[in-house]
Structure 1
Amino acid sequence: MKTKVAFVCIHNSCRSQMAEGWAKHLGSDVLEIYSAGTEEYHEVKPLAVEVMKEVGIFMDDHYPKLLIDIPEEVDILITMGCGVICPFVPCKCQEDWGLEDPSGGTIKEFRKTRDLIENKVKDLIYRVRNNYI
């Protein structure tokens, strides 16, 4: 059985979308992956889509989702560092990755965030595969 992981931020328009993309690309064999936001938003940030495309991860069909769009309970809940509090999402493990939001920044800032998320997702997958979480 796969470990259910949800990446959550406020709008589900940038960081949590990149985390979902990386997790599906690198760990879909061990993870059942979701992302969501606590507030509605109209699009995934175009620069997030662009920088992920640079590394071969295509998010053209991604769209912002809300917490009601993911399972009621997950194994791992990861917030991106935007002060999101999700007491109503039951989980076995919760982490906050403390990532700065590149929204409104340059493509260089989006690339930096993309690369930070890649490393965090790789670490998460390693810990899941080795039963550390």
Structure 2
Amino acid sequence: MSPENKNRKMDDWIVARASQYKALGDSTRLRLVLMVRDAAPSPVCTCDLPEIFGMGQSTLSHHLGKLVDAGILDREQRGRWAYFTLDEQFDASMLGHSGFIHPADASRGDCCSSRKDADGTVTVLFACRRNSGRSQIAAAIAQSMAPSGMRVLSAGSEPAHEVDPLVVQALGEIGLKPLSSPSKLDPTVVKNADWVVTMGCGESCPYFPGTHREDWAVPDPHTRDIDEVRDIVARMQGKVADLMARIEKNQENREGQNGQEE
């Protein structure tokens, strides 16, 4: 590369970085970026933002547009709503290097700090639309694997009257049963949970900063036959086991950091 091209490339890089730092200089935009970062890998829906920020949709759209223009966020339109993730080209380490992240969070390896309960209890919430199938299966399996100090909940955005009978049967075949009857998804419960796993409830499951949220692509057992439901249960066992391992690792990392601080 010639010196001229090298200098031009450096100039472009500097201009892009300056634009990003300028965009991040606004407190609302910085909060938006940190929220999107903490929600990863799940995208953040604009439908959740007015309640969280106490601002109108048009004001938030203006700020989000500035972040997209600066190459910090990426926008994906899904029907009525836009969903945002960090732009793949954005260097997220800028947040730490520029002091935008609290020092206690700068070295964390996971977005979940499992910190909301003073007694150390970790709350895991599984949510789907009807709370009669997937979330019930996941919660029952999680409860069977949960260590002491973990609270497992499930809920639905449009709860059914009862848990699917075939789900009850398939769980019974592995010695488990639903933890509760279908219940309505409460935003307060979502806000107070440390880990939230959604399965098909989409925009109706709100996002709150500081809560780790991920979405699982698991088939809905509703209208499936018993063999298909058994397959879903088996698949869920693997996903829940992986989740439990990640939560345990997160707790160990956090305890290690606390020990070093002391």
Normalised by the length of structure 1, the TM-score is 0.88
The answer to whether the 8 A contact 1:36-1:70 is kept is no
From the superposition, tell whether residues 83 and 37 of structure 1 become closer, same or farther in structure 2 (CA, over 3 Å). closer
Report the secondary structure of 1:67's partner residue: coil
The amino acid that maps onto 2:139 is: E
The amino acid that maps onto 1:51 is: A
Q: Aligned ranges for residues 15-34 of structure 1 at < 5 Å?
A: 15-34=134-153
- Counterpart of 2:211 in structure 1 is 92
For residues 20-77 of structure 1, give each alpha carbon's deviation from its aligned partner in whole angstroms, at most 9, with x where no partner exists: 1001111142521110000131110000000000000123x63101112972421111
Shift of 1:83: 4.6
Which stretches in structure 1 are left out of the alignment for 5+ residues? Answer: none
- Counterpart of 1:68 in structure 2 is 186
Question: Between Structure 1 and Structure 2, how many residues are aligned?
Answer: 131
Q: Partners of 1:113 and 1:70 in 2: how far apart?
A: 29
Q: Partners of 1:88 and 1:18 in 2: how far apart?
A: 22
Q: CA RMSD in A?
A: 2.1
Q: Where is the strand percentage greater, Structure 1 or Structure 2?
A: 1
- Counterpart of 2:174 in structure 1 is 55
Task: Using CA pairs under 8 Å that are at least 6 residues apart, name the structure with larger relative contact order, 1 or 2.
Answer: 1
Shift of 1:100: 1.0
Q: Where is the helix percentage greater, Structure 1 or Structure 2?
A: 2
From the superposition, tell whether residues 121 and 70 of structure 1 become closer, same or farther in structure 2 (CA, over 3 Å). farther
The amino acid that maps onto 1:23 is: A
Q: Does 1:102 align with 2:233?
A: no
Q: Partners of 1:100 and 1:127 in 2: how far apart?
A: 23
- Counterpart of 1:79 in structure 2 is 198
Report the secondary structure of 2:194's partner residue: strand
Which stretches in structure 2 are left out of the alignment for 5+ residues? Answer: 1-119, 255-262
- Counterpart of 2:103 in structure 1 is none
The answer to whether the 8 A contact 2:131-2:182 is kept is yes
Normalised by the length of structure 2, the TM-score is 0.46
Which structure would you say has the larger Rg?
2
Q: Partners of 2:134 and 2:181 in 1: how far apart?
A: 13
Moved over 4 A (4+): 88-91
